Amino acid sequence: MTQYRSYMEKQATHIRVFIVDDHANVLKALASQLASSTQKIVVDTASGVEETVKTVRLLQPDVILVETKRADGRGLELVEKIRHSGVKSKIVVLTSYFNEWERVMLARSGVKDYLLKDIGSTCLIQHITALAV
């Protein structure tokens, strides 16, 4: 678990974002991008399914960004485990490529947004900010 700012010491104006992806380079780039934005965003990350569920229970982030297309094939399972973990975080899928069936299934299960990774930083931050309020 990598911390970019003091996650647990969030002030009222900070948005707590948790990023889940099984590609270390993607995690690092996204976390750095969000943490350095002009918005007050605190970021934490994980790659493993069990690590993610345990950590989001502990941290209770405002928004969780999840890549569902994982090498281990457990992306949809991960979303379900997060949903059933008792956290009230808003879940956003941030994925490599579009899949209509997956988008519909995830929307029905309570996922708040389904975005492609080629989204610009400004748009992604706007989505996160809108969901966090």
Q: What is the pLDDT of residue 12?
A: 54
What's the mean pLDDT when you consider all of the chain?
89
Evaluate whether residue 8 is within a structural domain: no
- Is position 87 within any domain? yes
Does some domain include residue 37? Answer: yes
- Report yes or no on 6 lying in a domain: no
pLDDT band with cut points at 50, 70 and 90 for residue 97: very high
Whether residue 105 lies inside any domain: the answer is yes
Tally the domains of the chain. Answer: 1
Close Cβ partners of 13 (under 8 Å, ≥ 6 residues apart)? 40
Q: Are 131 and 112 contacting, i.e. CB atoms less than 8 angstroms apart?
A: yes
* Local confidence band at 4 (pLDDT 50, 70, 90 cut-offs): very low
Residue numbers of the domain that contains 50: 13-132
What pLDDT score does 37 carry? Answer: 86
pLDDT at 7 over 80: no
Residue 43: other Cβ atoms inside 10 A: 25
Q: What is the pLDDT of residues 59-96, one digit of tens each?
A: 999 999 999 999 999 999 999 999 999 999 999 999 99
Identify whether 81 is part of a domain.
yes
Q: Quick one: 1 exposed, middle or buried, by C-beta within 10 A (0-12, 13-18, 19+)?
A: middle
Within-domain flag for 2: no
Tell me the CATH number at 108: 3.40.50.2300
pLDDT of residue 28: 93
